[in-house]
C-alpha cells in the first residue's frame, strides 16, 4: 500500500512539474510578443479621461466639456521616461 501511494504522489509531482514548465514557457513567449494591457484608460469626474502607458510611464488626459472641442494633453512627471 505504501509503494502505491508513493507512486501516485510521484506521478502527481511529475505531472505538476510538466504543467508548470509548459505554462511558464508559453507565458514568457506571449508577453514578449504582445503588449496587451500596456495602455490603461480611466474615466474620471467632470468629463475627464486619463490614458497611461504602463511601459514608459507617460500619461495623457482629455477634458471634454459638452459643446466644446476636446484635445489631449500630456502630464509629464519624474516617473516619465526621458526622450
Q: What is the pLDDT of residues 8-66, one digit of tens each?
A: 877 777 777 777 777 766 555 555 556 778 888 888 777 788 888 888 888 888 887 77
Q: What is the pTM of this model?
A: 0.46
Q: Which residue has the higher pLDDT, 68 or 49?
A: 49
pLDDT at 48: 82
Helices (H), 1-83: 2-33
pLDDT at 75: 79
Enter the C-alpha cell of residue 59.
500619461
SS3 75: strand
Closest to 65 measured CA to CA, from 51, 79, 48: 48
CA 72, CA 33: separation in Å to the nearest integer? 29
Amino acid at each position: 500500500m505504501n509503494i502505491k501511494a508513493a507512486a501516485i504522489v510521484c506521478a502527481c509531482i511529475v505531472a505538476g512539474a510538466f504543467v508548470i514548465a509548459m505554462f511558464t514557457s508559453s507565458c514568457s513567449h506571449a508577453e514578449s510578443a504582445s503588449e496587451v494591457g500596456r495602455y490603461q484608460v480611466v474615466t474620471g469626474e467632470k468629463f475627464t479621461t486619463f490614458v497611461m502607458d504602463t511601459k514608459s510611464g507617460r500619461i495623457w488626459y482629455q477634458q471634454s466639456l459638452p459643446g466644446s472641442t476636446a484635445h489631449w494633453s500630456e502630464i509629464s512627471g519624474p516617473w516619465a521616461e526621458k526622450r
